[in-house]
Amino acid sequence: MSGKIFIIEDEPSIIQLVQHNLEKEGFIVSSSINGNNGLKELKKFEPNLLLLDWMLPDLSGIEICKNIRKDMKLKSLPIIMLTAKGEEEDKIKGLDSGVDDYLTKPFSFNELLARIKAVLRRSDPKIVSDYIEFDDLKLNRNERRVFRSDIEITLGPTEFRLLEFFLLNPKRVYSRDQILENVWPNNINVESRTIDVHIRRLRKSVNLKNKKELIRTVRSAGYSLI
């Protein structure tokens, strides 16, 4: 993984966490804790992506966005907006102003990383190296291959997306609704039982004999990786 990421965010704890982890992933990271300075430094730094907090002490995230979209050089800079919970309506306003994606605080680093990759993949696929690992499971997105203990597994498209999704936050339990939202294409309607069948298919593919179960059923809650 390579590429440069700039962060404008006023909570130092968030900056620290995100910066540190992104650097561990191989990104070059720089940051600012306010909007006006951020804009200036941003232009010098020439990032491949911007993480932008919604609420800032001076300029609002939206202001910064508009500012960036006017600038010829930065016009196509991908932006991920960080919003606090309860700003759902504002999401729509924000989308109009040219933000590429959103993330609601609090978030896990893996979620953020996934969004960053997704956005970068669209704008500049070369940057994303893309390799997820969990336990003895390896998923290579570029090659679209999955291995369990170095034995290749063949997955159908939905099974692949499903596993990809679980790997973003392994161990976490997802409800059927959450799975639907994230794994199925938007505005498609399938019954929630459909997920059970796909889980079954994924299990069948992933659980080679002699290997322990990777997908846990949490009764009345959903599924998770373990």
Residues that bind DNA (CB under 7 A): 156-159, 184, 188-191, 193-194, 196-201, 203, 217-222
DSSP label at residue 127: G
Residue 144 interacting with a copy of itself (CB under 8 A): yes
- 188 exposed, middle or buried (CB, 10 Å; 0-12, 13-18, 19+)? exposed
x-marked contacts with a copy of itself along 95-114 as a string, rule CB under 8 A:
-----------xxx--x---
Residue 193 interacting with a copy of itself (CB under 8 A): no
Query: Which one-letter amino acid corresponds to residue 116?
Result: I
Q: How far is the CB of 28 from a copy of itself (least distance, A)?
A: 9
The correct pick among 70, 86, 96, 210 for binding a copy of itself (CB under 8 A) is 86
Query: Which one-letter amino acid corresponds to residue 93?
Result: K
Residue 27 phi/psi, 5° resolution? -80, 155
d(CA 108, CA 93): 25
Nearer to a copy of itself, 95 or 226 (CB): 226
Q: How far is the CB of 207 from DNA (least distance, A)?
A: 9
Q: What are the residues whose beta carbons fall under 8 Å from the beta carbon of 223, sequence distance 6 or more? A: 166, 173, 174, 179, 195, 199, 215, 216, 217
46 binds, among DNA, a copy of itself, none (CB under 5 to 8 A by kind): a copy of itself
Query: Is the dihedral angle over the CA atoms 78, 167, 30, 87 positive or is it negative?
Result: positive
Q: How far is the CB of 197 from a copy of itself (least distance, A)?
A: 18
* Site residues, a copy of itself (CB under 8 A): 2-4, 46, 48, 72-74, 76-77, 84-87, 89, 106-108, 111, 124-127, 142-144, 156-157, 171-173, 178, 218-221, 224
